[in-house]
Structure 1
Amino acid sequence: MLKTYRAVQFTEYGGPEVLHVVDREVPRPGPGEVLVEVRAAGVNPLDWQLRSGAVAAMMPVEFPAVPGGDVAGVVADVGKDVADFAAGDEVFGSIGFGSYAEFVLAPAAQIARKPGNVPWEIAAGLPVAANTAYQALCDLDVKAGETLVVDGAAGGVGSVAVQIARHLGAAVIGTASERNHAYLRSLGAEPVTYGEGLAEQVRTIAPNGADAAFDAAGKGSLPALVDVTGGPERVVTIADHRAEEHGVRFVFAGAGAIRERLEQAAALVVNGELTLSVARTYSLSQAADAHRESEGGHVRGKLIIVPD
């Protein structure tokens, strides 16, 4: 076993330039943990929000810190009381922090076995998106025959939510820029353009409005979504921190059901009912560039970090 590994680390809040590749000592997994040799790591907006200090009041970072909550890789070692996994198992999971690295410690309860025919980049982009999408659809209690609006439907979480909702039997109206409308149709959603006039656009497709709405973009759509659903009761957001002003609930996807949700999502991928678009891959040394692109807010699908 190697004694050191490379990781992307930051020691203070700031812009992407605070990210640096450093050498760290390879840790031993503790009780309930596994050591994963990383094959790919997903980039999520929370990564740069934590790095910048934007959410420090709610989620302070302990320095030095390694970003990254999405991971896919091979189990290198297991800690005490871990019976579900062994060295050599291919896994993926949503682990909270630390995946922009060659190795990472992961709670065994927050990873699942990766199907052998699922590429590393796809597996790495799926965990946070799937866990969040399932939580949102659960909070909304989306049922077959209902109409769901997904704002930000071409992004990582939004595109997964569209496909899971379609699997549940719901009709989906998704917002995106016009260049992504064909992509949304390929996922099974009816596309509309986000922004001004959203409520009117939705009603051209669903004259009686929608049953539920999921804001995955945080671009100020909540008043329109409340309008088309007839009230805030069945509107949720993962991105608009002014949700309370509109009576809308904020989605919090905890760790309790991660493995079950990952197994469900993996089964959909294997069956061809769930696809994930990988927008771009970056090396560890390009992590700052990945954050810059993510912060731009116009990514279709997922950005992925692949260790050099």
Structure 2
Amino acid sequence: MTRPKSMKTMKAIRLHAFGGPEVLRHEDAPVPELKPGEVLVRVRAAGINPPDWYLREGYKALPADWRPAVPLPVIPGSDVSGVVEAVAAGVHGFAVGDEVFGMVRFPSYGESAAYAEYVAAPASDLALKPAGIDHVHAAAAPMAALTAWQFLVELGHDHANPLQPHRHRPVPLEGKKVLVNGAAGGVGHLALQLAKWKGAHVVAVASGGQAAFLREMGADAFIDYTQGAPEEAEAARDLDLVLDTLGGATASRFLRTLKRGGALFPVFPLGFSGAEEAAERGVVVSATQVRSNGQQLASLGRLLEAGTLRVAIDSSFALADAQQAHARAARGHIRGKIVLTVG
């Protein structure tokens, strides 16, 4: 089934050039046509994630020969929550009127197109929205929650790892001492809760103003990085696992906090330079690329429905105010997630 005949255009955020938040334009765009196996979702909210501003900037943080070609204009965004408007041939498990959420076609480069009134999504990328949470909280969850799940609980796919030669393997968490760096952010506050759910003792690293919030999320110990190097803190000794949601060149500082046989998982592994030290210390360093997975999202949805997992909202903006939302993201120190509301 294609789009209803009455719908030809929709409002969307598009960029016609790469740059800062000012390149995000609220304008008319064609309503997407459905392909077999896809669902047309009337978007109620769209979550904002770092890959959205990487795309907006033209992936300038990547080496030049790694930058994908992105045809312009392009609609950014991958995380949505909304209502099924139409279903194509080959779709099972979803019907018109169902409330759904998901991370659409990720990883892809400019094909997800979630900052819009309508998005065409592979049915396999979606799950039924938990009835107990609203569209704003549901849209905030997919990428951050799936990242935490695939790093910590279950990878869930057999795709070749673009980040390293070996497959990422989560480690058992029950009874283990786990540190989450960047614990107040989107991935961090959900990873903290998943680690607690799995029976870990969790040490949260963030700025001092986040202490009460992270204790509420379940942190057993808290390190204020503004008061000294977190890797030197007493609470960071003899760790079994570090999930560094910031990653990059600074992730290697946590190698000294880990027991022999422990693991360091940098969510952003580019720039990591501690491979030799990790080998000397007997520490496994591993990362993965988060991928869309409706089945895993359904499992996360059950945790959200039960209140075992909670999503914090830093702020929300109307779709037309996407520039302001990206400007908020650029200021940093985000508690939870930023969301666009649609319609």
Alignment-derived partner of residue 137 in structure 2: 122
* Cross-structure match for 1:283: 318
Task: Specify the SS of the correspondent of 2:314.
Answer: strand
Q: Distance in 1 between matches of 2:146 and 2:320?
A: 28
Percent identity between the two aligned chains: 36
- 2:287 paired with 1:250: yes
Asked if the contact 2:179/2:236 (under 8 Å) is kept, the reply is no
Structure 1 residue 55 displacement after superposition: 5.0
2:325 corresponds to which letter in structure 1? A
Q: C-alpha distance in 1, partners of 2:71/2:35?
A: 19
With over 3 angstroms needed to count, the CA separation of the structure-2 counterparts of 1:171 and 1:153, relative to structure 1, is same
Q: Deviation per CA, 1:114-161, whole angstroms, max 9, x where unpaired?
A: 122211111000000111001111433132000111100000110000
Give the match for residue 232 of structure 2: 200
Q: Conserved in 2, the CA contact under 8 Å of 1:6 and 1:102?
A: yes
Distance in 1 of aligned mates of 2:338 and 2:14: 18
Asked if 1:299 is matched to 2:334, the reply is yes
Match of 1:34 in 2: 39
- Give the equivalent residue in structure 1 for 2:183: 153
Q: Which amino acid aligns with 1:101?
A: A
Q: 1:213 aligns with which of 236, 242, 249?
A: 242
Structure 2: distance between partners of 1:58 and 1:235: 27
Question: What is the aligned partner in structure 1 of residue 296 from structure 2?
Answer: 261
Q: Which is further off, 290-299 or 5-14?
A: 290-299
Task: Go from structure 1 to structure 2 and tell me whether the alpha carbon gap of 1:59 and 1:227 turns closer, same or farther (over 3 Å shift).
Answer: farther
CA distance in 1, matches of 2:261, 2:248: 17
> What's the TM-score, normalizing by structure 2?
0.83
Separation of aligned partners in 1, 2:258 and 2:199 = 18
Letter in 1 for 2:114: S
Q: Unaligned stretches of 5+ in structure 1? A: none
Q: What CA distance in whole angstroms lies between the structure 1 residues aligned with 2:271 and 2:260?
A: 16
Question: How many residues are treated as equivalent by the alignment?
Answer: 303
49-58 or 116-125, larger mean C-alpha shift: 49-58
For the residue of structure 1 that corresponds to 2:225, the secondary structure is coil
Match of 1:23 in 2: 28
Is contact 1:140–1:234 with CA below 8 Å preserved after alignment? no
- Sort the Cα spacing of 1:164 and 1:78 in 2 relative to 1 into closer, same or farther, 3 A: same
* Cα shift at 1:217: 1.9
1:1-308 matches, cutoff 5 A: 1-53=6-58, 54-55=60-61, 57-95=66-104, 96=106, 97-138=112-153, 139-189=169-219, 190-194=221-225, 196-201=228-233, 204-205=234-235, 207=237, 209-218=238-247, 221-230=250-259, 234-243=263-272, 245-246=274-275, 248-255=285-292, 258-308=293-343
Deviates more, 1:59-68 or 1:10-19: 59-68
Structure 2, unaligned runs of 5 or more: 1-5, 107-111, 154-168, 279-284
| CA–CA distance in structure 1, aligned partners of residues 309 and 198 of structure 2 | 12
Specify the SS of the correspondent of 2:300: helix
Aligned partners of 1:26 and 1:69: how far apart in 2? 16
Structure-2 separation of matches of 1:232 and 1:24: 52
In 2: Cα distance, 1:282 partner to 1:30 partner: 31
- What is the letter of the counterpart of residue 86 of structure 1? A
Superposition deviation, residue 219 in structure 1: 6.8
CA distance in 2, matches of 1:75, 1:269: 20
CA distance in 2, matches of 1:194, 1:89: 44
Distance across 1 between alignment mates of 2:57 and 2:12: 18
Partner Cα separation in structure 2 for residue 220 and residue 163 of structure 1: 26
1:172-191 CA-partner distances (Å, limit 9, x unpaired): 11111000011111111121
Equivalent pair of 1:215/1:221 in contact (CA under 8 Å): no
Partner in structure 1 of residue 156 of structure 2? none
Tell me the secondary structure at the aligned position of residue 224 of structure 1.
Answer: helix
Letter matched to residue 82 of structure 1: V
Task: Judge conservation of contact 2:175–2:199 (CA < 8 Å) in 1.
Answer: yes
Change (3 A) 1:206 1:109: same
Q: Secondary structure, in 3 states, of the residue corresponding to 1:239?
A: coil
Amino acid at match of 1:133: A
Deviates more, 1:48-57 or 1:67-76: 48-57
2:46–2:77 Cα contact (<8 Å) kept: yes
